[in-house]
Each structure stands twice: as structure tokens, then as C-alpha cells.
Amino acid sequence: MSVGKYSIILTNTETVPGRTIVEFYGLATGNTVRAKHIGRDIMAGLKNLVGGELTGYSELLQDSRREATERMVEQAKSMGANAVVNMRFATSSVAQGAAELFAYGTAVRVE
């Protein structure tokens, strides 16, 4: 059933291409708040002088987004869904050096 990194189907389109939606369960959400690690922050500060990719931050955000998505997936599964459609990501900074990553979508059952 699953394709890719998660145990259910995730899409950001309104349908799942190639399948039909048989039931809607409503909104599934997942969030995580992460702060930067001080060591990474010092490295990023140095890297920031010369520019370029801040690898520490790239990884941090990827991990956090993955965690938010996994929480959303768990919630969708507990509702009985096997897919989440029209998925969206949102980022907001809650405090200096901390960010909230939020993933949400509509939990559905597909054939």
C-alpha cells in the first residue's frame, strides 16, 4: 500500500492519482517545535560569514519536518485512514532560535 518513506500514501493534490477516495475522515495534523543546538549555531555563525549552505540547519529542518509528518500520519492512521491528501506544510518561528513545523492534510480512505 505504501509508497516512499511513510506507511501511508501522502499527496499534495486533492486526489490520489490512480485511486478513488471512498471515505473522508477530516483533518489530520502533526507538529513539532525545535530549537537550534548551540554547537550547530556556532558553526552556522561561522559559515554565515562566507555564505553557502548551512548543512546543520538543513538537516535540522528536514528531521523536524519528517517528525511533524510522522505525527500527522499516526493521527490519520488512528482515524482509520490509509492516505492523506492535499497535504500542506507551515513553518512559524515561536521564539528566538526556535521554530514550529506543522504538517496537515485531509485523512481519507482510498481503494
Pairing of β 83-95 and β 98-110: antiparallel
Give the HSE-up count for residue 6: Cα atoms under 13 Å, Cβ half-sphere: 20
For Cα atoms 30, 5, 68, give the angle at the middle one, nearest 5 degrees. 15
Candidate ranges 25-33, 47-55, 74-82; the one touching another protein (CB under 8 A) = 47-55
The answer to whether residues 29 and 107 touch, using CB atoms and an 8 Å cutoff, is no
The answer to whether residues 76 and 102 touch, using CB atoms and an 8 Å cutoff, is no
Contact flags string 21-40 toward another protein, x per CB under 8 A: --------------------
Residue 78 binds another protein, judged by CB under 8 A: no
Q: Of 33, 43, 57, 67, which one interacts with another protein (CB under 8 A)?
A: 57
The residue among 6 and 25 lying less far from another protein, judged by its C-beta, is 6
Applying CB under 8 A, which residues contact another protein?
A: 2-6, 9-19, 44-45, 47-54, 57-58, 61-62, 65, 87, 89, 91, 93, 97, 99
